[in-house]
Homo-oligomer: A and B are copies of this chain.
Amino acid sequence: MVEFTIRQPDDFHLHLRQNEILKTVAPYVVPFGRVLAMPNLAPEPILTGAQAKAYRSEIYRAFGELGVECQVLTTIQLTEQTTAEMIFDAHDAGVVAAKAYPKGQTTNSDNGILNYDKLHEPLLAMVDCGMVLCLHGETPRPHTFILDRESKFLPILDNLVFTFPKLKIVLEHVTTKDAVERVRNLPATVAATITAHHLVLTLDGVIGDKISPHNFCKPVAKREEDRDALIKAATSGSGKFFFGSDSAPHLKETKECASGCAGIFSGPVLLPVLAEVFKAHNALDELEKFTSMNGSHFYDLPLNDREVTLVQAPLEVPEHIEGIIPFLAGKQLGWQVKA
């Protein structure tokens, strides 16, 4: 049996939610040393250090009840009302990153950003205290064609990099060749996360045959040449690209309906999917950099001490997990995480 051992990975983009859903998804963080918990909770997003602290406690309480061990890194959400003081407070509360959503472009983003110039004050504060800016990279400009929104966000990224040359910026869950190339060409202060599902899907997985709400997320999966660029970036070993799953649980009834939510619940299959993709591209040796080193370096965190072993053995993905349909539900994968 083929085994493959890597330094324990981190997930630098995860939706843990609250209450019952938090308890449902918590067990799937076990293989990870650290997870960066996203702030776009509903109805109350995490906007301040105090809220982030309370959310972290809530998560640790749930982890504790379930015997889950994993370090939780927290974020706050930037709005056009975020002040420098709120940033310093958040930093004091241990928040490592602030997330900017484009207004109205994804789940719980109605309070997102329309005019990125309005972030000047909080971004200066973030440079001061060394907080990372996480960007959902789609233009907030209304009526932009769905497949162009990421590419049309890149000028906003350029402008942020130009204006704040010392600000660390992560372009989250990139989906296009355009974005990969831009991040590669921008200075070392700029990196990108890549999800597991965007290494697998193209738009054909969403609407190519039937319409598949469980493969629908924002930014939506693009063309094969885009997916190939993502795979090339992830398997390249370049420190500019690291793993952030964007695993986002939604109850089945909010996906399989007339107007289904964006978000893919990939938590239960993350490392098996990554192993499969990296193996298929003869790049298993680069997996550890992508999952366990590049992100730590970028976030100035120590590498994890423990190790995780992947075993080449069939994994049957469950059809559903307490009312949530996981990514690749019902499919068989070729790798398991060794207990």
Q: Which residues of A contact B (CB under 8 A)?
A: 143, 145-147, 202-204, 206-214, 216, 220, 223-224, 255-262, 325, 329
17 residue pairs A–B, Cβ–Cβ below 8 Å: A143-B204, A145-B202, A146-B204, A206-B211, A207-B220, A210-B259, A210-B261, A211-B216, A211-B261, A211-B262, A212-B259, A212-B260, A213-B260, A256-B257, A256-B258, A258-B325, A258-B329
CA–CA, A268 to B211, complex, Å?
A: 23
Q: How far is the CB of A202 from chain B (nearest CB, A)?
A: 7
Contact present for A258 and B212 (CB under 8 Å): yes
Q: How far is the CB of A293 from chain B (nearest CB, A)?
A: 34
State how many copies of this chain the complex holds: 2
Describe A's contact surface by its main secondary structure: loop
CA–CA, A20 to B204, complex, Å?
A: 33
If A213-B211, A213-B213, A256-B256 touch, does A203 touch B146 (CB 8 Å cutoff)? yes
CA–CA, A214 to B257, complex, Å?
A: 9
List of B residues within 8 angstroms of A211 by Cβ: 206, 211, 213, 216, 255, 259-262
Q: In the complex, which residue of chain B has the Cβ closest to the Cβ of A319?
A: B258
A203 contact from B147, B214, B216, B224, Cβ within 8 A: B147
Q: In the complex, which residue of chain B has the Cβ closest to the Cβ of A330?
A: B258
Q: In the complex, which residue of chain B has the Cβ closest to the Cβ of A224?
A: B145
List of B residues within 8 angstroms of A202 by Cβ: 145
CA–CA, A207 to B143, complex, Å?
A: 12
List of B residues within 8 angstroms of A145 by Cβ: 202-204, 208, 223-224
List of B residues within 8 angstroms of A216 by Cβ: 207, 211
Q: How far is the CB of A145 from chain B (nearest CB, A)?
A: 6
CA–CA, A202 to B207, complex, Å?
A: 14
Q: In the complex, which residue of chain B has the Cβ closest to the Cβ of A203?
A: B146
8 further interface pairs, Cβ-Cβ under 8 Å (given A145-B224, A207-B216, A212-B259): A145-B203, A145-B223, A147-B203, A207-B207, A213-B258, A213-B260, A256-B257, A256-B258
